[in-house]
Structure 1
Protein backbone atom coordinates (compact mmCIF):
# COMPACT_ATOMS: atom_id res chain seq x y z
CA UNK A 1 0.00 0.00 0.00
CA UNK A 2 1.46 3.41 -0.94
CA UNK A 3 2.65 5.76 1.79
CA UNK A 4 0.60 8.86 2.49
CA UNK A 5 1.44 11.97 0.51
CA UNK A 6 0.03 15.45 0.91
CA UNK A 7 -1.80 15.45 -2.39
CA UNK A 8 -5.36 15.02 -3.65
CA UNK A 9 -4.49 11.82 -5.49
CA UNK A 10 -2.91 10.05 -2.49
CA UNK A 11 -3.65 6.32 -2.59
CA UNK A 12 -2.64 5.37 0.95
CA UNK A 13 -4.86 3.17 3.14
CA UNK A 14 -6.13 6.11 5.20
CA UNK A 15 -7.19 8.21 2.21
CA UNK A 16 -8.83 5.22 0.54
CA UNK A 17 -10.73 4.51 3.77
CA UNK A 18 -11.98 8.10 3.90
CA UNK A 19 -13.14 7.81 0.29
CA UNK A 20 -15.01 4.57 1.02
CA UNK A 21 -16.80 6.11 4.00
CA UNK A 22 -18.11 9.17 2.21
CA UNK A 23 -21.89 9.22 1.95
CA UNK A 24 -23.59 11.54 -0.53
CA UNK A 25 -20.47 13.63 -1.14
CA UNK A 26 -17.84 13.62 -3.89
CA UNK A 27 -15.07 11.12 -3.12
CA UNK A 28 -12.50 13.28 -4.91
CA UNK A 29 -13.21 16.43 -2.92
CA UNK A 30 -13.67 14.42 0.28
CA UNK A 31 -9.94 13.74 0.50
CA UNK A 32 -8.62 16.66 -1.52
CA UNK A 33 -10.21 19.28 0.73
CA UNK A 34 -10.67 17.67 4.13
CA UNK A 35 -11.17 21.04 5.83
CA UNK A 36 -14.17 21.90 3.66
CA UNK A 37 -17.63 20.44 3.19
CA UNK A 38 -17.39 18.32 -0.01
CA UNK A 39 -19.92 19.03 -2.78
CA UNK A 40 -22.87 16.70 -3.16
CA UNK A 41 -22.73 13.89 -5.68
CA UNK A 42 -24.81 13.40 -8.78
CA UNK A 43 -27.72 11.12 -7.88
CA UNK A 44 -26.52 7.54 -7.23
CA UNK A 45 -22.93 8.37 -8.21
CA UNK A 46 -19.76 8.96 -6.21
CA UNK A 47 -18.70 12.15 -8.01
CA UNK A 48 -20.01 15.70 -7.98
CA UNK A 49 -21.13 17.16 -11.34
CA UNK A 50 -17.81 19.01 -11.80
CA UNK A 51 -15.65 15.91 -11.28
CA UNK A 52 -17.98 13.78 -13.39
CA UNK A 53 -17.73 16.26 -16.27
CA UNK A 54 -13.97 16.60 -15.81
CA UNK A 55 -13.44 12.86 -16.03
CA UNK A 56 -15.50 12.59 -19.22
CA UNK A 57 -13.61 15.51 -20.74
CA UNK A 58 -10.26 13.96 -19.82
CA UNK A 59 -11.22 10.66 -21.46
CA UNK A 60 -12.29 12.49 -24.63
CA UNK A 61 -9.01 14.42 -24.57
CA UNK A 62 -7.03 11.17 -24.52
CA UNK A 63 -9.08 9.80 -27.41
CA UNK A 64 -8.88 13.00 -29.46
CA UNK A 65 -5.16 13.68 -29.03
CA UNK A 66 -3.68 10.17 -29.06
CA UNK A 67 -2.77 10.21 -32.75
CA UNK A 68 -1.17 13.64 -32.43
CA UNK A 69 0.94 12.40 -29.52
CA UNK A 70 1.88 9.29 -31.53
CA UNK A 71 3.11 11.51 -34.34
CA UNK A 72 5.30 13.35 -31.85
CA UNK A 73 7.25 10.12 -31.26
CA UNK A 74 8.82 10.42 -34.72
CA UNK A 75 8.08 13.90 -36.12
CA UNK A 76 8.92 12.81 -39.68
CA UNK A 77 6.87 9.64 -39.59
CA UNK A 78 3.09 9.12 -39.63
CA UNK A 79 0.96 6.11 -38.86
CA UNK A 80 -1.56 4.95 -36.32
CA UNK A 81 0.15 2.10 -34.48
CA UNK A 82 0.97 2.40 -30.79
CA UNK A 83 4.65 2.82 -31.49
CA UNK A 84 5.85 3.44 -27.93
CA UNK A 85 6.02 -0.33 -27.50
CA UNK A 86 8.78 -0.48 -30.16
CA UNK A 87 11.02 2.12 -28.57
CA UNK A 88 14.29 0.18 -28.76
CA UNK A 89 13.69 -0.93 -32.34
CA UNK A 90 12.55 2.35 -33.90
CA UNK A 91 14.40 3.09 -37.13
CA UNK A 92 14.04 6.84 -36.60
CA UNK A 93 15.12 9.02 -33.66
CA UNK A 94 12.57 8.64 -30.85
CA UNK A 95 11.33 11.26 -28.43
CA UNK A 96 11.73 9.26 -25.22
CA UNK A 97 9.68 11.66 -23.08
CA UNK A 98 6.70 11.24 -25.41
CA UNK A 99 7.15 7.47 -25.39
CA UNK A 100 7.19 7.38 -21.60
CA UNK A 101 4.12 9.63 -21.42
CA UNK A 102 2.16 7.42 -23.80
CA UNK A 103 3.02 4.33 -21.79
CA UNK A 104 1.59 6.01 -18.69
CA UNK A 105 -1.54 6.96 -20.64
CA UNK A 106 -1.97 3.44 -21.98
CA UNK A 107 -1.40 1.79 -18.59
CA UNK A 108 -3.84 4.11 -16.81
CA UNK A 109 -6.64 3.72 -19.35
CA UNK A 110 -6.21 -0.06 -19.39
CA UNK A 111 -6.20 -0.14 -15.57
CA UNK A 112 -9.65 1.45 -15.53
CA UNK A 113 -10.98 -0.79 -18.30
CA UNK A 114 -9.69 -4.04 -16.80
CA UNK A 115 -11.05 -3.18 -13.35
CA UNK A 116 -14.47 -2.63 -14.92
CA UNK A 117 -14.29 -6.04 -16.60
CA UNK A 118 -13.38 -7.65 -13.27
CA UNK A 119 -16.27 -5.94 -11.49
CA UNK A 120 -18.86 -6.67 -14.22
CA UNK A 121 -18.55 -10.30 -15.43
CA UNK A 122 -20.99 -9.78 -18.30
CA UNK A 123 -19.11 -6.78 -19.66
CA UNK A 124 -16.78 -7.19 -22.64
CA UNK A 125 -14.10 -4.89 -24.03
CA UNK A 126 -14.85 -3.31 -27.42
CA UNK A 127 -13.47 -4.96 -30.55
CA UNK A 128 -11.06 -2.06 -31.08
CA UNK A 129 -8.81 -2.17 -28.03
CA UNK A 130 -6.39 0.60 -28.89
CA UNK A 131 -5.89 3.21 -26.18
CA UNK A 132 -7.93 6.01 -27.82
CA UNK A 133 -10.80 3.63 -28.58
CA UNK A 134 -10.86 2.38 -25.00
CA UNK A 135 -10.85 5.96 -23.70
CA UNK A 136 -13.78 6.84 -25.96
CA UNK A 137 -15.60 3.65 -24.92
CA UNK A 138 -15.16 4.54 -21.25
CA UNK A 139 -16.34 8.13 -21.79
CA UNK A 140 -19.39 7.25 -23.91
CA UNK A 141 -20.65 4.04 -22.32
CA UNK A 142 -19.02 3.26 -18.98
CA UNK A 143 -18.98 6.46 -16.91
CA UNK A 144 -22.05 5.47 -14.91
CA UNK A 145 -20.36 2.22 -13.89
CA UNK A 146 -17.14 4.03 -12.95
CA UNK A 147 -18.74 6.96 -11.13
CA UNK A 148 -21.37 4.77 -9.50
CA UNK A 149 -19.10 1.88 -8.44
CA UNK A 150 -19.98 0.14 -5.18
CA UNK A 151 -16.33 0.42 -4.23
CA UNK A 152 -16.03 4.19 -3.92
CA UNK A 153 -12.25 4.01 -3.71
CA UNK A 154 -12.24 2.64 -7.26
CA UNK A 155 -14.18 5.67 -8.49
CA UNK A 156 -11.62 7.92 -6.86
CA UNK A 157 -8.64 5.95 -8.16
CA UNK A 158 -10.12 5.84 -11.67
CA UNK A 159 -10.62 9.62 -11.59
CA UNK A 160 -6.92 10.19 -10.84
CA UNK A 161 -5.74 7.55 -13.32
CA UNK A 162 -7.68 9.34 -16.06
CA UNK A 163 -6.60 12.79 -14.87
CA UNK A 164 -2.94 11.75 -15.02
CA UNK A 165 -3.43 10.26 -18.49
CA UNK A 166 -5.01 13.50 -19.74
CA UNK A 167 -2.26 15.63 -18.19
CA UNK A 168 0.44 13.49 -19.82
CA UNK A 169 -1.06 13.59 -23.29
CA UNK A 170 -1.92 17.29 -23.08
CA UNK A 171 1.67 18.13 -22.14
CA UNK A 172 2.99 16.32 -25.22
CA UNK A 173 0.49 17.74 -27.70
CA UNK A 174 -0.24 21.29 -26.59
CA UNK A 175 3.40 21.97 -25.76
CA UNK A 176 4.46 25.39 -24.51
CA UNK A 177 1.88 27.95 -25.56
CA UNK A 178 1.55 31.69 -25.62
CA UNK A 179 -1.99 32.85 -25.06
CA UNK A 180 -4.02 36.05 -25.33
CA UNK A 181 -7.63 36.84 -24.53
CA UNK A 182 -9.97 37.79 -27.35
CA UNK A 183 -11.62 40.96 -26.00
CA UNK A 184 -15.41 40.81 -25.77
CA UNK A 185 -15.50 37.37 -27.38
CA UNK A 186 -17.36 34.60 -25.57
CA UNK A 187 -18.22 31.00 -26.33
CA UNK A 188 -21.40 30.50 -28.34
CA UNK A 189 -21.89 26.83 -27.46
CA UNK A 190 -25.30 26.16 -25.85
CA UNK A 191 -25.17 26.86 -22.14
CA UNK A 192 -21.58 28.14 -22.21
CA UNK A 193 -20.41 31.75 -21.96
CA UNK A 194 -16.71 31.19 -21.32
CA UNK A 195 -14.13 33.79 -22.31
CA UNK A 196 -12.44 32.96 -25.61
CA UNK A 197 -8.68 33.17 -26.04
CA UNK A 198 -6.20 32.38 -28.76
CA UNK A 199 -3.38 29.95 -28.03
CA UNK A 200 -0.27 29.56 -30.18
CA UNK A 201 1.94 26.50 -29.82
CA UNK A 202 5.67 26.51 -30.37
CA UNK A 203 5.12 25.01 -33.83
CA UNK A 204 2.98 28.00 -34.86
CA UNK A 205 -0.42 26.27 -34.71
CA UNK A 206 -3.08 28.70 -33.45
CA UNK A 207 -6.34 27.65 -31.82
CA UNK A 208 -9.25 29.61 -30.41
CA UNK A 209 -10.38 27.97 -27.18
CA UNK A 210 -12.93 28.53 -24.45
CA UNK A 211 -11.60 29.16 -20.95
CA UNK A 212 -14.52 27.22 -19.46
CA UNK A 213 -14.22 24.07 -21.61
CA UNK A 214 -11.11 23.13 -23.60
CA UNK A 215 -13.24 20.98 -25.92
CA UNK A 216 -14.88 24.17 -27.21
CA UNK A 217 -12.10 24.92 -29.67
CA UNK A 218 -11.63 25.82 -33.32
CA UNK A 219 -8.59 26.42 -35.51
CA UNK A 220 -7.59 30.08 -35.91
CA UNK A 221 -8.09 30.09 -39.68
CA UNK A 222 -11.58 28.69 -39.29
CA UNK A 223 -12.38 31.28 -36.64
CA UNK A 224 -11.22 34.23 -38.72
CA UNK A 225 -13.12 32.94 -41.75
CA UNK A 226 -16.26 32.69 -39.63
CA UNK A 227 -15.86 36.28 -38.47
CA UNK A 228 -15.23 37.50 -42.01
CA UNK A 229 -18.37 35.76 -43.21
CA UNK A 230 -20.37 37.81 -40.72
CA UNK A 231 -18.54 41.01 -41.57
CA UNK A 232 -17.09 41.18 -38.07
CA UNK A 233 -13.42 40.77 -38.91
CA UNK A 234 -12.00 43.53 -41.12
CA UNK A 235 -8.49 43.63 -39.80
CA UNK A 236 -5.68 41.35 -38.80
CA UNK A 237 -6.22 39.34 -35.62
CA UNK A 238 -4.84 40.40 -32.21
CA UNK A 239 -1.11 40.21 -31.70
CA UNK A 240 -0.13 37.46 -29.30
CA UNK A 241 1.49 38.41 -26.04
CA UNK A 242 4.55 36.42 -25.13
CA UNK A 243 3.28 36.09 -21.61
CA UNK A 244 0.81 33.47 -20.48
CA UNK A 245 -2.52 34.63 -19.21
Structure 2
Protein backbone atom coordinates (compact mmCIF):
# COMPACT_ATOMS: atom_id res chain seq x y z
CA UNK A 1 0.00 0.00 0.00
CA UNK A 2 1.01 3.63 -0.49
CA UNK A 3 3.26 4.64 2.41
CA UNK A 4 2.17 8.28 2.26
CA UNK A 5 -1.50 7.44 2.73
CA UNK A 6 -0.69 5.03 5.53
CA UNK A 7 1.08 7.82 7.46
CA UNK A 8 1.91 6.45 10.91
CA UNK A 9 -1.31 4.47 11.30
CA UNK A 10 -0.90 0.89 10.03
CA UNK A 11 -4.61 0.23 10.58
CA UNK A 12 -5.83 2.91 8.18
CA UNK A 13 -6.89 2.34 4.59
CA UNK A 14 -4.49 3.29 1.81
CA UNK A 15 -4.56 2.90 -1.98
CA UNK A 16 -2.36 0.34 -3.65
CA UNK A 17 1.14 1.44 -4.60
CA UNK A 18 2.41 1.25 -8.16
CA UNK A 19 4.24 -1.93 -9.07
CA UNK A 20 7.78 -1.85 -7.69
CA UNK A 21 7.17 1.43 -5.86
CA UNK A 22 6.08 2.50 -2.38
CA UNK A 23 3.76 5.24 -3.66
CA UNK A 24 0.40 5.21 -5.39
CA UNK A 25 0.14 6.94 -8.77
CA UNK A 26 -1.31 10.12 -7.26
CA UNK A 27 1.48 10.53 -4.72
CA UNK A 28 4.20 9.64 -7.22
CA UNK A 29 2.89 12.27 -9.65
CA UNK A 30 2.62 14.82 -6.83
CA UNK A 31 6.22 14.24 -5.75
CA UNK A 32 7.51 14.77 -9.28
CA UNK A 33 5.32 17.86 -9.73
CA UNK A 34 6.64 19.35 -6.47
CA UNK A 35 10.24 18.80 -7.58
CA UNK A 36 9.52 20.52 -10.88
CA UNK A 37 7.88 23.41 -9.04
CA UNK A 38 10.99 23.95 -6.92
CA UNK A 39 13.15 23.81 -10.07
CA UNK A 40 10.93 26.26 -11.97
CA UNK A 41 10.68 28.86 -9.20
CA UNK A 42 14.10 28.70 -7.59
CA UNK A 43 15.64 31.57 -9.57
CA UNK A 44 12.63 33.77 -8.76
CA UNK A 45 12.96 32.84 -5.11
CA UNK A 46 16.62 33.87 -5.14
CA UNK A 47 15.65 37.23 -6.62
CA UNK A 48 13.14 37.73 -3.81
CA UNK A 49 15.94 37.57 -1.22
CA UNK A 50 17.10 41.11 -1.93
CA UNK A 51 14.46 43.67 -2.81
CA UNK A 52 15.62 45.58 -5.86
CA UNK A 53 18.77 43.50 -6.30
CA UNK A 54 19.59 41.99 -9.65
CA UNK A 55 20.70 38.46 -10.48
CA UNK A 56 23.05 36.40 -8.44
CA UNK A 57 24.22 32.86 -8.99
CA UNK A 58 24.85 31.80 -5.39
CA UNK A 59 22.28 30.57 -2.91
CA UNK A 60 22.50 33.62 -0.73
CA UNK A 61 20.04 32.40 1.90
CA UNK A 62 22.59 29.86 3.11
CA UNK A 63 24.00 32.30 5.64
CA UNK A 64 22.26 35.00 7.63
CA UNK A 65 24.81 37.82 7.28
CA UNK A 66 24.85 41.57 6.89
CA UNK A 67 24.74 42.58 3.21
CA UNK A 68 24.80 45.85 1.25
CA UNK A 69 21.20 45.15 0.21
CA UNK A 70 19.00 43.98 3.12
CA UNK A 71 17.96 40.34 3.10
CA UNK A 72 14.27 39.52 3.21
CA UNK A 73 14.35 37.39 6.35
CA UNK A 74 11.08 35.54 5.72
CA UNK A 75 12.24 34.56 2.23
CA UNK A 76 15.65 33.55 3.58
CA UNK A 77 14.08 31.30 6.21
CA UNK A 78 11.74 29.72 3.66
CA UNK A 79 14.52 28.94 1.22
CA UNK A 80 16.77 27.59 3.96
CA UNK A 81 14.15 24.97 4.81
CA UNK A 82 13.54 24.17 1.12
CA UNK A 83 17.25 23.80 0.41
CA UNK A 84 17.86 21.58 3.43
CA UNK A 85 14.92 19.33 2.51
CA UNK A 86 16.08 18.80 -1.08
CA UNK A 87 19.64 18.13 0.07
CA UNK A 88 18.35 15.59 2.63
CA UNK A 89 16.89 13.58 -0.25
CA UNK A 90 19.99 13.99 -2.42
CA UNK A 91 22.44 12.91 0.28
CA UNK A 92 20.39 9.83 1.08
CA UNK A 93 20.49 8.82 -2.61
CA UNK A 94 24.25 9.31 -2.60
CA UNK A 95 24.55 7.02 0.43
CA UNK A 96 22.20 4.35 -0.95
CA UNK A 97 23.07 4.37 -4.66
CA UNK A 98 26.38 6.24 -5.02
CA UNK A 99 24.71 8.46 -7.62
CA UNK A 100 26.80 11.05 -9.43
CA UNK A 101 25.50 14.54 -8.82
CA UNK A 102 25.08 17.08 -11.63
CA UNK A 103 27.87 19.58 -12.10
CA UNK A 104 25.76 22.56 -11.04
CA UNK A 105 24.34 21.88 -7.61
CA UNK A 106 22.03 24.70 -6.59
CA UNK A 107 18.68 23.62 -5.16
CA UNK A 108 16.72 24.29 -8.33
CA UNK A 109 19.08 22.23 -10.47
CA UNK A 110 19.07 19.37 -7.98
CA UNK A 111 15.26 19.38 -7.86
CA UNK A 112 15.12 19.17 -11.65
CA UNK A 113 17.68 16.35 -11.64
CA UNK A 114 15.67 14.45 -9.03
CA UNK A 115 12.46 14.81 -11.04
CA UNK A 116 14.06 13.67 -14.31
CA UNK A 117 16.22 10.73 -13.27
CA UNK A 118 15.97 9.91 -9.57
CA UNK A 119 12.27 9.83 -8.70
CA UNK A 120 12.04 6.08 -9.19
CA UNK A 121 14.86 5.53 -6.68
CA UNK A 122 12.99 7.62 -4.12
CA UNK A 123 9.62 5.99 -4.72
CA UNK A 124 11.06 2.49 -5.00
CA UNK A 125 13.51 2.57 -2.10
CA UNK A 126 13.90 -0.62 -0.09
CA UNK A 127 13.47 1.63 2.95
CA UNK A 128 9.79 2.58 2.90
CA UNK A 129 10.30 5.09 5.69
CA UNK A 130 12.75 7.00 3.49
CA UNK A 131 10.19 7.11 0.66
CA UNK A 132 7.57 8.53 3.03
CA UNK A 133 9.96 11.06 4.56
CA UNK A 134 11.33 12.12 1.19
CA UNK A 135 7.80 12.69 -0.13
CA UNK A 136 7.04 15.10 2.72
CA UNK A 137 10.45 16.79 2.56
CA UNK A 138 9.78 17.52 -1.10
CA UNK A 139 6.20 18.66 -0.39
CA UNK A 140 7.51 21.05 2.25
CA UNK A 141 10.26 22.30 -0.06
CA UNK A 142 7.67 23.11 -2.72
CA UNK A 143 5.44 24.86 -0.21
CA UNK A 144 8.26 27.03 1.10
CA UNK A 145 9.41 27.85 -2.42
CA UNK A 146 5.90 29.04 -3.25
CA UNK A 147 5.88 31.12 -0.06
CA UNK A 148 9.19 32.71 -1.03
CA UNK A 149 8.14 33.55 -4.57
CA UNK A 150 4.87 35.09 -3.48
CA UNK A 151 6.60 37.17 -0.85
CA UNK A 152 4.10 38.42 1.72
CA UNK A 153 2.64 36.01 4.21
CA UNK A 154 0.32 36.11 7.19
CA UNK A 155 0.58 34.18 10.43
CA UNK A 156 -2.22 33.26 12.82
CA UNK A 157 -1.83 31.36 16.11
CA UNK A 158 -3.31 27.86 16.38
CA UNK A 159 -5.23 27.94 19.69
CA UNK A 160 -3.80 25.62 22.33
CA UNK A 161 -1.40 23.96 19.87
CA UNK A 162 2.30 23.76 20.68
CA UNK A 163 5.40 22.35 18.98
CA UNK A 164 6.12 18.73 19.90
CA UNK A 165 9.75 18.68 18.77
CA UNK A 166 12.13 17.59 21.54
CA UNK A 167 13.04 20.53 23.76
CA UNK A 168 10.52 22.85 22.12
CA UNK A 169 7.06 23.84 23.30
CA UNK A 170 6.53 27.05 21.34
CA UNK A 171 3.20 28.22 19.96
CA UNK A 172 2.19 26.79 16.58
CA UNK A 173 0.97 29.17 13.90
CA UNK A 174 -0.67 28.79 10.50
CA UNK A 175 1.31 30.55 7.79
CA UNK A 176 -0.70 31.55 4.71
CA UNK A 177 0.94 32.94 1.58
CA UNK A 178 -0.69 35.00 -1.16
CA UNK A 179 -1.27 31.86 -3.19
CA UNK A 180 -3.46 30.53 -0.39
CA UNK A 181 -1.07 27.74 0.65
CA UNK A 182 -1.05 26.90 4.36
CA UNK A 183 1.84 25.66 6.47
CA UNK A 184 1.86 24.89 10.19
CA UNK A 185 5.00 26.38 11.72
CA UNK A 186 6.62 26.69 15.12
CA UNK A 187 6.77 30.33 16.25
CA UNK A 188 10.26 29.80 17.72
CA UNK A 189 11.95 27.86 14.92
CA UNK A 190 11.00 28.21 11.24
CA UNK A 191 12.56 24.81 10.58
CA UNK A 192 9.83 23.11 12.63
CA UNK A 193 7.15 22.97 9.94
CA UNK A 194 4.57 20.71 8.40
CA UNK A 195 2.24 21.15 5.45
CA UNK A 196 -1.39 21.89 6.31
CA UNK A 197 -2.72 18.71 4.69
CA UNK A 198 -0.21 16.66 6.68
CA UNK A 199 -1.30 18.41 9.86
CA UNK A 200 -4.99 17.77 9.28
CA UNK A 201 -4.30 14.12 8.45
CA UNK A 202 -2.35 13.80 11.69
CA UNK A 203 -5.28 15.24 13.62
CA UNK A 204 -7.66 12.78 11.97
CA UNK A 205 -5.31 9.89 12.76
CA UNK A 206 -4.97 10.92 16.39
CA UNK A 207 -8.72 11.40 16.69
CA UNK A 208 -9.34 7.93 15.29
CA UNK A 209 -6.91 6.29 17.72
CA UNK A 210 -7.58 7.72 21.17
CA UNK A 211 -5.25 5.17 22.70
CA UNK A 212 -2.35 7.16 21.26
CA UNK A 213 -3.19 10.19 23.34
CA UNK A 214 -5.72 13.00 23.72
CA UNK A 215 -7.46 14.25 20.61
CA UNK A 216 -6.06 17.53 19.34
CA UNK A 217 -8.22 20.55 18.65
CA UNK A 218 -9.37 20.86 15.03
CA UNK A 219 -9.87 24.61 15.16
CA UNK A 220 -8.58 26.41 12.11
CA UNK A 221 -7.11 29.85 12.17
Could you say whether these structures have the same fold, taking a TM-score greater than 0.5 normalized by the shorter chain as the test?
yes
- Pick from 112, 116, 129 the counterpart of residue 140 of structure 1: 116
2:74 counterpart residue number: 97
- Pick from 101, 124, 130 the counterpart of residue 100 of structure 2: 124
1:166 counterpart residue number: 142
Larger relative contact order (C-alpha < 8 A, sep ≥ 6)? Answer: 2
TM-score by length of 1: 0.59
Aligned residue pairs: how many?
154
Q: How does 1:57-206 map to 2 (within 5 A)?
A: 57-79=33-55, 80-121=57-98, 123-175=99-151
Alpha-carbon shift at residue 37 of structure 1 (Å)? 1.8
Q: Which structure has the larger Rg over C-alpha atoms?
A: 1
Unaligned runs of 5+ in 1: 1-24, 178-200, 203-245
Over aligned residues, Cα RMSD in angstroms? 1.9
Kindly provide the CA deviation profile for residues 182-204 of structure 1, in whole angstroms up to 9, marking residues without a partner as x: xxxxxxxxxxxxxxxxxxx69xx
Alpha-carbon shift at residue 176 of structure 1 (Å)? 6.3
Alpha-carbon shift at residue 94 of structure 1 (Å)? 1.2
Please state whether the residue corresponding to 2:126 is helix, strand or coil.
coil
Inter-partner Cα distance in structure 2 for 1:161 and 1:84: 18
Unaligned runs of 5+ in 2: 154-177, 180-221
1:47 counterpart residue number: 23
1:197 counterpart residue number: none
Alpha-carbon shift at residue 86 of structure 1 (Å)? 4.3
Inter-partner Cα distance in structure 2 for 1:66 and 1:126: 16
Inter-partner Cα distance in structure 2 for 1:69 and 1:34: 38
Would you say 1:28 and 2:4 are equivalent positions? yes
Inter-partner Cα distance in structure 2 for 1:156 and 1:26: 9
Kindly provide the CA deviation profile for residues 19-54 of structure 1, in whole angstroms up to 9, marking residues without a partner as x: xxxxxx000001267664200111100000010011
